[in-house]
Structure 1
Amino acid sequence: MSARPTGSRSGRSRSRRPKNGEGRMSLLEHLLELRRRLTFAAIAIVLGTVAGYLVSDFIFARIQDAVANVAPGTKLNYTVLTEAFDIRLQIAFVAGLVLSSPVWLYQLWAFIIPALVRRERIWALSFFFSAVPLFLIGSAVGWLIFPHMAQLLGTFSADGTATLLTARDVIAFVLRLVIAVGVGFTFPVFLVLLNVVGVLPARSILRGWRVAVLVITIFAACVTPSVDIFSMFLLAIPMVGLYLAAALVAWLLDRRAARRADAIDAELASS
């Protein structure tokens, strides 16, 4: 009589236990988890796009105000009948991407976190709370520097010429700028994440600081061609600072990992 409930309990415990003895997920489980995370991220982006559509007129008006500084009387022009609607959808999508960034960035971290140990999960969550504001700040910086770019580019127009700007090209340029600067600000966070999972050691990050500074400077010069170099350094200096901060965090993590490994070796040697 007593063997039956015991077997039932053991059967239930076996059904709850992962198939892999080490608790690892199978390839199918990884794919199902990825699909679930992508579904949540897609829903958030769709809802953000709806909200972005509601403010697309305001965003377009601000871009048009910046374009007006290129030359007197400069306006955005539509070349095809459906271009106005297509542009509004593009603005809505990018605005939705920015507004929903806390959700889809969380889904990205949540997909990676199960592969990490407890200490690494704590770091990963802290990276998430760093990546979201950095992405939003970077997107805001990209949005704010566009009027300066438009003003500078307008100075290259020759006297007696008219500036005819296609709305599709201008809007695409602004939207790419916003996303590019936002991603640029979050790049150091991904460097630290790669260090946590053991892919990129701190010494590699430190050795590449010269190349990183050069790439950041070129990137800042390309996206901020203002009349003076102040705007370029205004963007480059924070990005260099974020890169060095990522290198410092990675170095501290490597030191902690080395001390932990030495302690384990010493314990094994004493036993």
Structure 2
Amino acid sequence: MEQSANERLHELAKFLQSRRARISPEQAGLPNRGRRRTPGLRRGEVAALSGISVDWYTWLEQARNIQVSAQVLESIVRALQLDSNERKHLFLLALQQLPADLIPSESIISPKLQSFLDLQGTSPAIVTDQRLNVVAWNKVASMIYGNYEVMSMRERNSVWRTFTSPYIRQLLQETWETHARHRLAQFRANYGKFAGDPWWMELIDELNRASEEFRTWWPEHDVLNGPEGRKINYHPTVGLIVFDQISFLVSDAPHLTVTINIPSNDDDTISKLRKLLLE
């Protein structure tokens, strides 16, 4: 076994031991049968609470190189009463990947985050969730990409809108295909965390029926994360506007991505956007 893998497994073992030691039988809903030589739960108790064999759990704490499923890890999370940060840490140590968190039915944007978007001025800024729904935006973004306030939840999905909106095709013109393929590859990458989820399956089915390009490109299985770089838009009122794009995750809500389109370093785009904001 490689040294790095060995170190990771030992870190996993120590982490489990430390979390087990901090929980009393009473906290776990078990009867306390007198004094214990060591604090916390016994391995057998954790195994029983997790619904796995004592040997299997013991091997984890012995840093053995065994395959463990996400389902087993979730059971251990519940047994050890781990919080969200500890849960993510456990998944990274055991599977070297983050857990596929359920998406909240409603993505709540903090006032501070909305204020940050509003302060971007002539830089269109949006927030998207893992489904690529636009869940927050600033004024200039709405004036360029469409009035999000009046859109349905389906229309606010950037993949759906990319493949079905004539306005987006006109806005992007010759760059539409590049943008559409990039957006689809982002969608495919996120779908990997939620494969088989009914919401995703329904949208994919609807897109297959609505868009010939989607039907053609979806089977290609392209995956991609990250910003698009330079964006060229043709706005119906102000004409050509050019942006450079950056994206980042929200630290206290990592299922949300902030995307900011910064006007290119020329007075023309900025002056056009200022004019648009004054209308």
| TM-score normalised by structure 2 residue count | 0.23
Higher RCO (CA 8 Å, separation ≥ 6 residues): 1
Greater C-alpha radius of gyration: 1
Q: Structure 1 or 2: larger strand share?
A: 2
Q: Structure 1 or 2: larger helix share?
A: 1
